[in-house]
Amino acid sequence: MITVVGSFVVDLMSRTPHMPVAGETVLGGPFRMGPGGKGGNQAVAAARCGSPVNMVTKLGKDDFGEMAKRTFLAENINIDYTPIDPEEATGAALIIVEQSSENMIVVALGACGKLSREDIYKAEDAISKSDIVLTQLETSVEAVVTTVEIAKKHGVPVILNTAPYQEFPKEILKDIAYVTPNETEAGYLSGIPVVDDDSALKAAAAIQAMGVKTVIITMGKRGCLLFEGPEKYEFVPSFKLDNVVDTTGAGDAFNGGFAHAIATGMSLKEAARFASAVAGLSVTKIGTAPAMPRIEDVEAFLAAH
């Protein structure tokens, strides 16, 4: 069982021939709308891999909130711990995807940014019965801190995906089993810009010194760094793909796949390879949550590689 605490937003995406500069209007398209948000994406990724998943987020009383409910129920994700905010709208993300498949995103969190300490404590039973808890920084810091507090109380390991990066109390890192920043976030967290393998190792060591057990820095096409200590680390290469169409949500795919892999007992390296396959397959389709692969596709991909 995995409990995901985090965001749900509706993705409003359009492709563009080039990224607009200030004041420029660009003719693009097509436009697509669908379920997203780092928490929602990660929950869908883990569920499609075969894990039972609880989703803890907050929705508005609106059409976007109804889309969230339909999405989660269709994926067999439990939403018993997802309250409705009577005032805030459901979150939305404005996404521009350039021809090279690079993207720019602006997120308006809305209701999920109002997740409170009280909301998380209402999900304590679900957290206590989980094999692992996955959370991100795309919600209130209060929700993240409370999630870690409850998980520690019940001896449940936590994965913290430090995306999108915002300041948070670093003392919670001592109660986190895995932290999964990308290169940029690792730089923010450690104070060491990550530009190559050597700087990644230095950043990982600095982050681990804050108390976290295992640091996993995702590095895009270069793969990821698994860091358990100065004498125990490994760079795991990514899979080479020729049919990349949209990199939006790749990090979420990695984290959802990684949570499933750890929850089902895979070793750290096996989990990283599995998560890399989930992420790799996700970028071959347009969208975020809808692009998450299913377990049979992941297993076939791994068998072929």
Q: What is the pLDDT of residues 206-255, one digit of tens each?
A: 999 999 999 999 998 889 999 999 999 999 998 888 788 777 789 999 99
Distances (CA, A) of 245 to 44, 139, 292: 20, 28, 13
Q: 180, 272 in Cβ contact below 8 A?
A: no
Question: How many structural domains does the chain have?
Answer: 1
Sequence ranges of the binding site for ATP: 182, 218-223, 251-252
Q: Model pTM? A: 0.92
Residue 101 has pLDDT above 80, yes or no: no
**CA–CA gap between residue 272 and residue 275 (Å, rounded):** 5
Residue 67's pLDDT is 95
Report DSSP letters for 115-170, one per residue: --HHHHHTTHHHHHT-SEEEEESSS-HHHHHHHHHHHHHTT--EEEE--S-----G
- pLDDT classification of 287: cutoffs 50, 70, 90: confident
Around Cβ 61, how many Cβ atoms within 10 Å?
Answer: 15
Of 85, 119, 175, 252, which is the active-site residue?
A: 252
Residue 277's pLDDT is 95
Q: What percent of the chain has pLDDT over 90?
A: 81
Region 279-292: mean pLDDT is: 88
Lay out the sheet containing 9-16: strands in order across: 31-36, 9-16, 90-98, 103-110
Domain that holds residue 120: 2-304
Around Cβ 237, how many Cβ atoms within 10 Å?
Answer: 12
**CA–CA gap between residue 174 and residue 27 (Å, rounded):** 48
Q: Which CATH number does the domain housing residue 272 bear?
A: 3.40.1190.20
Sequence ranges of the binding site: 9-11, 37-41, 138, 182, 218-223, 246, 248, 251-252, 282, 285, 287
Q: What is the pLDDT of residues 4-37, one digit of tens each?
A: 999 999 989 898 999 888 899 999 888 989 898 9
Sequence ranges of the binding site for substrate: 9-11, 37-41, 138, 252
Sequence ranges of the binding site for K(+): 246, 248, 282, 285, 287
Residue 244's pLDDT is 80
Residue 97's pLDDT is 86
**CA–CA gap between residue 10 and residue 17 (Å, rounded):** 23
252 is a catalytic site residue:
yes
Q: What is the pLDDT of residues 134-191, one digit of tens each?
A: 999 999 999 999 999 999 999 999 999 999 999 999 999 999 999 999 999 999 999 9
The sign one gets for the Cα dihedral 209, 1, 268, 280 is negative
